[in-house]
């Protein structure tokens, strides 16, 4: 015998099922774990951070986001408006981050407003240099990819460029010791592109990451100028130093250093605090855990193949 | 000779080109394939499902989504409001799914309203346990990653945590035999994170997936407690049993079982209904199709390398 | 001594810091690189392109996007409305692309309105065929994946299907020599799915890409009918022919041709302008740079493993 949906909805909402359930859920908040409140000192907000990142992308590549039409004569008004907004919004988010840190370390004499103000200024002051840097990245992509028809195509549609731009922004905040926000930015880039570059990694100039899905570049990696990286490359840690209690020690240099003019082809894995010397070429699927002299060309002997002939009747 | 754009637009819209085209397109709908109508019994809507998932993420990690400011004293109101909404909306979507199944199997005596109501209740009742489970996942990520500065960073920016949370929610609906919705949820997680965990997979407690891009975990995989998985790991099927007509048999156990305290490094491929014994360590790029005893440490001998020196004049 | 946040904000916004900074940023625009203006000939807008793609997805799989409820009797009105809108909007975006090309090549006698109009018509006229083609792709996914419960699940939640649909649309514009837009479309698919298929690649019928994260298919790849591709497969270039100045020559055929009924398992890398003959099976992680006869079965001998037993006291 069928019952009517309306009755069910009524029963569902009338019942004390929800009250009891809400009580049960709230009990799980009582230990304060996984709950963002911290006595009113709220964490930075993801939506605000992403909106700031998108504003900054418009400053670095004006007009490409499709929001506004620019002319070189009037561009200063659009940029001024964006910078004025980012200045206030980023100040708010960075203040939250510093207050959060302050609360977490039970410190109460941080002058977080002053810290936030100085940090925002230093961050914004880095924008002209980041823009110059991005021009070189665009040029590197154009020269490195035979499928690139022109530089605008790269700005409009290359995920590697987007990941690198956001990382360069996040990296400045990382060096300013801003908690939480740099990683939120780089995870936004990861979500958009499949390229996971930790904000701590140091990137040189004219970097080109092609396709990029699955690329992982760790916190203490250092990358020189004119480096090309293809999809699926890992610049990772080989092992994590542990303390006497077996807990991982945070922060030690544990990722590779890639010198200038190196190319790393798809799927290569380079692990540990080693050096890939200038001008080296690392082939696809190479697995490296030791330092490599400059000018080396290293290719992995591909796995041996077993080749057989299938019955001609099946699916041929 | 140039013509004026307005003329072109006029011609484009005046012409009977569009009418004819629409007729041609609609002809392709007549076999009913790839058209969502089913006599008014509509499928669940993606936008609603994603909004429900985002509401549930706010319940599991309140305050992190940046939508509201919570205090522990008043959190019950926010959570109550979310649960009341999800209760109605999920009921609607699950009803669509059950009606869909009913229509597909030409059955007409399913009491879909009652089925939907009971399913929603059982699903919502699982939330407190899922939340406890997620706390352990956060702790596991913190202990497993030297780059993690604190637990809030993990909640705010670790893709593995997001993929696992959504999978745990989808898994409950999978076991309730709700059609379509679990897979829509897990594909949402896949889109956000590059981590593809089928809703059917069973995950234990304190699971940590780092970086995660390219991870694939199949429908019948079973994962124990305290398991760590890195980017590019596949827990897949080796082959698909077929019936006499050569059609694949759906549903059979065909993916690995990973026991407690196992670590699987980046790029490892583990295929088939095999067992990785407790406490084992599977190295990067290992390819495994056979059961492994507990406490094993398995590393792939990396591919042999061919090393040569490049001319010192090029790019060094 | 703490200072008040209001003062800081005031100081931040009052100062001439912003004016100076904006001047510095605008100086970096003066070379015109990385700035979208081109004398008022604006590039296509990403937001418009994505909205057009989503409209077209609604035409190819009506009702699945959750926007409207369709019945077979009235579907022509919804489709007519979408096509009428796309006709105008796509005309606008394609005109921008052609004007852009015209401006870039210092040509001033392109009849861009006429070119755009003809292109839009040819593109829209391809929709019925694309829809028939997608039905075969859905069928191929259903037959190829034991986890697929029904075809609607595939339309609703399989990333491979979404990537292929968008590529088939972009491919038509690629052949019409529309600049910029095809790549913007395929990068949208890449962002949603982790599957990077260049709009230039030719795809046959009944193609199934499972999981898909990390798949890369290059510009000059040619794929036959009934081909299955799993996650992490690369159909790439082995090397790029360069001219006398060492610059890469754009456009040459440099990617593989995959004949009918081929299956390529996860992580396989196939490089260069080679042919994989009809009905071949390429195993996981195979690395191929040479042509393969039809009906071949090629598996990579997995890397040798080093297996040791861990101390039973640790983590078991």
pLDDT 10s digit of each residue in chain A, 316 long? 455 556 666 666 656 889 999 999 989 988 877 776 655 567 899 999 999 999 999 999 988 876 666 677 788 888 999 999 999 999 999 999 998 888 888 777 789 999 999 999 999 999 999 999 999 999 999 999 988 888 999 999 999 999 999 999 999 999 999 999 999 999 999 999 999 999 999 999 999 999 999 999 999 999 999 999 999 999 999 977 777 887 777 778 999 999 999 999 999 999 999 999 999 999 999 999 999 999 999 999 988 999 999 865 444 4
3-class DSSP string for chain C? CCCCHHHHHHHHHHCCHHHHHHHHHHHCCCCCCCCCCHHHCCCCCHHHHHHHHHHHHHHHCCCCCCCCCCCCCCHHHHHHHHHHHHHHHHHHHHHHHHHHHHHHCCCCCCCHHHHHHHHHHHHHHCHHHHHHHHHHHHHHHHHHCCCCCCHHHHHHHCHHHHHHHHHHHHHHHHHCCCCCHHHHHHHHHHHHHCCEECCCCEECCCCEEECCCCCEECCCCEECCCCEEECCCEEECCCCCECCCCCECCCCCCCCEECCCCEECCCCEEECCCEECCCCEECCCCEECCCECCCEEEEECCCCEEEEECCCCCCC
Q: Which residues contact C279 (CB under 8 A, 6 or more apart)?
A: A310, A314, A315, A316, C259, C260, C261, C262, C294, C295
**Inter-chain touch C29–A72, beta carbons under 8 Å:** yes
Task: Of B228, B220, B225, B173, give the one whose Cα is nearest residue B197.
Answer: B220
Q: Which residues contact A276 (CB under 8 A, 6 or more apart)?
A: A256, A257, A258, A259, A262, A264, A270, A282, A288, A291, A292
The domain A39-194: what is its CATH number? 1.10.3130.10
Residue C108 CB coordination number (10 Å):
8
Is residue A298 within 8 A of residue A292, CB to CB? The reply is yes
Which pair of tokens denotes residue B166?
């959504």
Residue B158 pLDDT > 70, yes or no? Answer: yes
**Inter-chain touch C216–A214, beta carbons under 8 Å:** no
Q: Is B151 exposed, middle or buried (0-12, 13-18, 19+ CB in 10 A)?
A: middle
**Inter-chain touch B187–C158, beta carbons under 8 Å:** yes
Residue B149 DSSP symbol? -
**Inter-chain touch B9–C91, beta carbons under 8 Å:** yes
Residues recorded for chain B: 316
**Can you name the CATH fold of A214-304?**
UDP N-Acetylglucosamine Acyltransferase; domain 1 (2.160.10)
The per-residue pLDDT for A37 is: 61
The per-residue pLDDT for C6 is: 62
List B residues 182-211 in contact with C (Cβ-Cβ < 8 A). 183-184, 186-187, 190-191, 194, 196, 198, 200
**Inter-chain touch A25–B88, beta carbons under 8 Å:** no
The domain C214-301: what is its CATH number? 2.160.10.10
ipTM of the complex: 0.91
Q: Is B296 exposed, middle or buried (0-12, 13-18, 19+ CB in 10 A)?
A: buried
Angle at A26 (CA atoms; ends A25, A28), nearest 5 degrees? 70
| DSSP codes of every residue in B54-92 | HHHHHHHSTTTTSS----TTTHHHHHHHHHHHHHHHHHH
List B residues 77-136 in contact with C (Cβ-Cβ < 8 A). 100, 104
Select from C70, C131, C146 the Cβ nearest to the Cβ of B25. C131
Beta bridge pairs of residue C242: C248
Give C179's contacts in chain A (Cβ within 8 Å): 149-150, 153
Asked if the C-beta of C246 comes within 8 angstroms of chain A's C-beta atoms, the answer is: no
What is the C-alpha separation between A181 and A203, in angstroms, rounded?
19
CATH of B214-302, one of 1.10.3720.10, 1.10.10.10, 3.90.1150.10, 2.160.10.10: 2.160.10.10
Same fold for the domain at B37-195 and the one at B214-302? no
The per-residue pLDDT for A100 is: 87
The per-residue pLDDT for A115 is: 94
The domain C40-196: what is its CATH number? 1.10.3130.10
Cα nearest neighbour of B75 on chain A: A26
Subunits in contact with chain B (3 or more CB pairs closer than 8 Å): A, C
Beta bridge pairs of residue C235: C217, C270
Is residue B231 within 8 A of residue B195, CB to CB? The reply is no
Q: Which residues contact A69 (CB under 8 A, 6 or more apart)?
A: A63, C37, C40, C42
Asked if the C-beta of A73 comes within 8 angstroms of chain C's C-beta atoms, the answer is: no
**Inter-chain touch C83–B22, beta carbons under 8 Å:** yes
Is residue A178 within 8 A of residue A40, CB to CB? The reply is no
Give C267's contacts in chain B (Cβ within 8 Å): 234, 267, 269
**Domain layout of chain C by residue ranges:** 40-196, 214-301
Phi, psi at residue B242, to the nearest 5°? -115, 155
Please, what sign has the CA dihedral across residues B86, B91, B92, B93?
positive
Task: Mutate one of A65, A168, A213, A214 to test the C interface: name it (highest C CB count within 10 A).
Answer: A213
Is residue B139 within 8 A of residue B148, CB to CB? The reply is no
3-class DSSP string for B96-115? HHHHHHHHHCCCCCCCHHHH
The per-residue pLDDT for C247 is: 73
**Inter-chain touch A266–C213, beta carbons under 8 Å:** no
pLDDT in tens, C173-213: 999 999 999 999 999 999 999 999 999 999 999 999 999 99
Size of interface B-C (CB pairs under 8 A): 236
The residue assigned the tokens 């004007």 is C99
Asked if the C-beta of C222 comes within 8 angstroms of chain B's C-beta atoms, the answer is: no
Give B159's contacts in chain A (Cβ within 8 Å): 187, 190-191
What is the C-alpha separation between B256 and C63, in angstroms, rounded?
37
Task: Of A244, A235, A242, A167, give the one whose Cα is nearest residue A198.
Answer: A167
**Inter-chain touch C128–B27, beta carbons under 8 Å:** yes
Phi, psi at residue A65, to the nearest 5°? -70, -10
Which pair of tokens denotes residue B222?
């079973």
CA distances from C283 to A286, B248, C111, C248 (A): 19, 19, 50, 32
**Can you name the CATH fold of B37-195?**
1.10.3130
Which pair of tokens denotes residue C163?
């990537």
pLDDT in tens, C72-95: 778 888 899 999 999 999 999 999
């Amino acid at each position: 015998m069928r019952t009517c949906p309306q009755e069910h909805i009524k029963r569902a909402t009338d019942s004390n099922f929800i009250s009891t359930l809400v009580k049960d859920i709230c009990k799980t908040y009582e230990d304060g774990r996984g709950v963002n409140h911290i006595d009113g000192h709220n964490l930075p907000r993801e939506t605000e951070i992403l909106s700031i990142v998108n504003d900054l992308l418009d400053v670095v590549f004006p007009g490409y986001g499709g929001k506004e039409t620019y002319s070189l004569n009037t561009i200063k008004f659009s940029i001024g408006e964006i910078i004025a907004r980012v200045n206030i919004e980023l100040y708010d988010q960075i203040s939250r981050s510093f207050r959060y840190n302050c609360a977490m370390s039970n410190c109460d004499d941080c002058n977080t407003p002053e810290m936030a103000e100085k940090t925002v200024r230093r961050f914004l002051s880095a924008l002209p240099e980041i823009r110059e840097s991005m021009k070189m990245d665009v040029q590197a992509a154009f020269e490195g990819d035979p499928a690139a028809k022109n530089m605008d195509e790269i700005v409009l549609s290359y995920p590697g460029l987007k990941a690198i731009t956001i990382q360069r922004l996040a990296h400045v905040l990382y060096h300013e010791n801003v908690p939480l926000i740099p990683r939120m930015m780089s995870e936004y880039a990861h979500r958009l592109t499949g390229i996971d570059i930790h904000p701590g990694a140091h990137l040189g100039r004219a970097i080109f990451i092609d396709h990029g899905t699955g690329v992982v570049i760790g916190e203490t990696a250092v990358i020189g100028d004119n480096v090309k990286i293809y999809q699926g490359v890992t610049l990772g840690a080989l092992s994590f130093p542990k303390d006497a209690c077996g807990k991982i020690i945070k922060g030690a240099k544990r990722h590779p250093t890639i010198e200038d003019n190196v190319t790393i082809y798809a799927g290569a894995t380079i692990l540990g605090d080693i050096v890939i010397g200038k001008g080296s070429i690392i082939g696809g699927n190479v697995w490296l855990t030791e330092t490599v002299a400059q000018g080396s060309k290293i290719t992995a002997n591909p796995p041996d193949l077993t080749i057989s002939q299938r019955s001609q009747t099946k699916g041929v």
